[in-house]
Amino acid sequence: MQRQSIDAVIFDLDGTLLDTEALSDKAMLAVYDPWLDASIKEERKAAGDRLPWELKKQILGLRGAEWAPIVIDFAKTHWNVLDKLSVAELWSQWETNLHELCHEIEACPGAVDLVNAFEKEGIPMGIATSSRQESVTKKSYRHQALFAKIPVVVPGDHPAVIKGKPAPDIYLEAARQLAIGDISRCLVFEDA
């Protein structure tokens, strides 16, 4: 079998390069904490301060304007939290909470070794993330050496990203910035 070569690698950020998913859940639960019943708080605490998978699987990879209505609906249906937050308020409060936790963010296991291997092979790399640029900057703070090897970062609030994931807009923009003409020759690491 002939080995296929690739011209570039595009990574998702959260859950692929940086282990932010547990902190993201913790930040979301902190937003809802004032209104959650004690039994729900205990249940979430027993689950490691993680969101229920029933909710998490619906919002992975989405931008805030897309995931916030889903979370609000879930909170109404499953937690009996009625009309406490608008989409903008939920997104903003969650992001503030997450930014406060950024000092705890670790690289995902194997991520640094993988990036180093691609760099050694001379393969250009980029990041395509649903996170806003401000969040990317805060999340990357402890990981400057890793980010220095990945010069292209396309955040979810980039003007060229009209439709969020799973639409291809963000990947196409990352490939464009990497000067890759044939996106089929890009290897993409995505966990959503």
Contacts of 58 (CB under 8 A, 6+ apart): 67, 70, 74
In sequence order, what are the beta bridge partners of 188?
A: 10
Active site (annotated) includes residue 113: no
DSSP states of 55-106 as a string?
HHHHHTT--HHHHHHHHHHHHHHHH---S---HHHHHHHHHHHHHHHGGG-E
Q: Which of 40, 32, 18 is nearest to 94 (CA)?
A: 32
Q: Which of 122, 145, 175, 161 is nearest to 17 (CA)?
A: 145
- Residue among 14, 73, 113, 157 flagged as catalytic: 14
Active site (annotated) includes residue 12: yes
Q: Which of 157, 189, 151, 186 is nearest to 170 (CA)?
A: 157
The answer to whether the beta carbons of residues 138 and 97 sit under 8 Å apart is: no
- Residue among 7, 12, 83, 113 flagged as catalytic: 12
Q: Active-site positions?
A: 12, 14
